[in-house]
Structure 1
Amino acid sequence: MKGRLLLVEDDPEIARVVRDTLRRDGYYVTWSTSGLEGWQDFLQQSYDLALVDLMLPEMDGFELCQNIRWNSDVPILIVSARKEDEVKVKGLHLADDYLTKPFSLAELKARVESLLRRWRRYQGKPAQENKSEYAGGLTLYWERQKAERDGSEIPLTAKEFDLLKVLAQHPDQVFSKNELYRHVWQQADAEGLHTVTVHIKSLREKLGDPVKHPRFIQTVWGKGYRFIGEPT
């Protein structure tokens, strides 16, 4: 097997041709028919590359690429009929390559192979430290999904750690409640915004992080939340 690929495409004719071509070429291919399904599939197993259409139901390709990038450095190839320069530029800020429809299958295979070569070279580099430390005594262990404050473990739930992870791994970036709910709970539900509020409140209490004078999670009024912890 040459690699595991995630194909997110809602047009069944295009998807079947691409899937069958890549499978014949030796790849394992998972086909998702919507952005939300693609995000759920991405979280269920590891992939070497994602091919993402932009005009998808439930969650568009831009949001899916953003969710993948917040979670992983896996290469992303956008495959879209959108040809406007501003769309391509926006896409390339999130993905590694952009292929416009219609395309030749030979070019598609060449793009996939090129991205995989670069990804495998990148993976050959020494692994980064698997923990982060911040002023105020906070230490986050990414692989073990564990948090400590002044050497004592903080009893976070899985969702609380996931929230803290996406915030802390993208410091100073403001995340809306909707973005956090879609990313952590993998659902598109307006009622989920209250769920985010409740979990952020619980997370702050466990971190000992007051709303008025935060050291870790800051509320950006009218927009959402961001992580302001100072690395040590």
Structure 2
Amino acid sequence: MAERRAVLITGATRGIGRAIADELADDWHVLVGGRHPDQVRKVVQALPSAEPFIADLTDAGAMQAAVEQIGHLDAVVHSAGAVVMGPVSELSRQDWRDLYEINVVAVADLTAELLPKLREAHGQVVTINSGSGFHTGPGQTCYAATKHALVAFTDGLREEERGVVRVTSVHPGRVDTDMQVDIQRQLGAQYQPERYLQPADVARAVELALTMRPGANVDTVSVRPAL
């Protein structure tokens, strides 16, 4: 049996990240990223080939220490993230700082730490972005701003690493997750899960990007609800 390729998935204990871990489990060795040891280990135990990657990604020291424990790595999927909703007039300076820290700065910092391993493997970087990376609306300005910034990051990284590391940006529409429940609550909207994607739908798009032949790259993929 061929040796499994290794993928680090941040935010892998729930929602889209967990669905990606499950989708890749048959063929990949999964590094399960998360902040809470008990939750991470529960997912590790449920997968056929996995290990923990426990770190608060907003803590540079903890993140670097976790990276030092990684051996060979073929891919990273950045699925961890947060959301803040509300009009600009009601958001604080700290709201902006906190959201950029997890949605942009942590992604850039972790990627930079992993690039030597990914370059050696001619590996891949996948970011889970959002439809908000393309557009925004009332109450979504802060969240969309971080996702627009993430587009700029992936576009720039793709060109910097072209021919060495492949880079993909995945943009789901609304997905039936705990985060979506929180988003709709903050927006004061009715929750309609039947109109949303399932996390497994996004996971299949990630698998497509990770299994393209070496001469091809999925630069950007948008996955929208059919309704």
TM-score category of the 2 structures, normalised to the smaller one: 0.3 to 0.5
Greater share of helix residues, 1 or 2? 2
Larger RCO, structure (CA 8 Å, separation 6 or more): 2
Greater share of strand residues, 1 or 2? 1
Q: What TM-score, normalized to structure 1?
A: 0.41
